[in-house]
A = this chain, B = another copy of it.
Amino acid sequence: MKNRIITISREFGSGGRTIGKEVAAKLGIPCYDYELIEKIAEESNFSKEYIAERGEYTAHSGWLGSAFADRDFNGHSYQDDIWSVQRKIILELAEKGPCVIVGRCADYILRDKADCLTVFIHSDLQKRAERIVKQYGERDIAPEKRLRDKDKRRAAYYQFYTDMKWGSVQNYHVALDSGVLGIDQCVETLAALYNAK
């Protein structure tokens, strides 16, 4: 029997990371999010900041930007290096035991390798804007603009490496609006679905 794993994809500012942590705590299994970045840093030569940024986001929004940004004449990019290391680490973690993995295309990487409950967390722009201002503070750029840019670059990254559409409802077993349902109810729902199978 393959290990049962929850993969969480999320819109920036939707609280997907918090939901991942809380559902893992509730189920008594580990949650890999920042820990994943640390592991990738250990096994590569890149800084944690660079990995956090380029292990989920393209340099520019749009497919062309993601495909050609930062490539040398051989078509090689640091982003590809990070992708290889994080793919290997995610596969190793999934072998080790049940867990929650936040982001980083884990749903795609594990699609035939683990018994996954694939999750998408979203929320409307205004609620996400309030959340990121509360969590990360004000910036020069308006929160709505930051969110749109982050979502676009995350979607471009996902599409480039998986050839699938990020946030397309058919790709996920369950999609929840955390802004309407609330963080606690999302956690309850995912824990119940995880335990039911």
| Interface of A: prevailing SS | mixed
Bound Cα distance from A197 to B185, whole angstroms: 9
User: Residue on B with the closest CB to A123?
Assistant: B170
Q: Mark A148-179, 1 if CB is under 8 A from B, else 0.
A: 00000000000000000001111011111100
Interface size class of A (residues with CB under 8 A): 20 to 34
Of the listed stretches A18-26, A101-109, A187-195, chain B binds A187-195
**Known contacts being A185-B193, A193-B181, A196-B185, is A174 close to B176, with CB within 8 Å?**
yes
Q: Are B173 and A181 in contact (CB under 8 A)?
A: yes
Q: Is A122 an interface residue (CB 8 A)?
A: yes
Number of copies of this protein chain within its complex: 2
Measured between beta carbons, the chain B residues less than 8 angstroms from A196 are: 181, 185, 188
**A168 nearest in chain B by CB position:** B169
The reply to whether the CB of A133 lies closer than 8 angstroms to some CB of chain B is no
Q: Does A32 contact B (CB under 8 A)?
A: no
Residues of B within 8 A of A174 (CB): 174-177, 181, 189
Indicate whether A124 reaches chain B with its CB closer than 8 angstroms.
yes
Question: Which residues from 112 to 154 on chain A have a C-beta closer than 8 Å to any C-beta of chain B?
Answer: 120, 122, 124
A180 contacts B by Cβ under 8 Å? yes
Of the candidates B122, B177, B189, B197, the one whose C-beta lies within 8 Å of that of A192 is B189
| CB <8 Å contact, A169 and B124 | no
Residues of A that sit less than 8 Å from B by CB = 120, 122, 124, 167-170, 172-177, 180-181, 185, 188-189, 192-193, 196-197
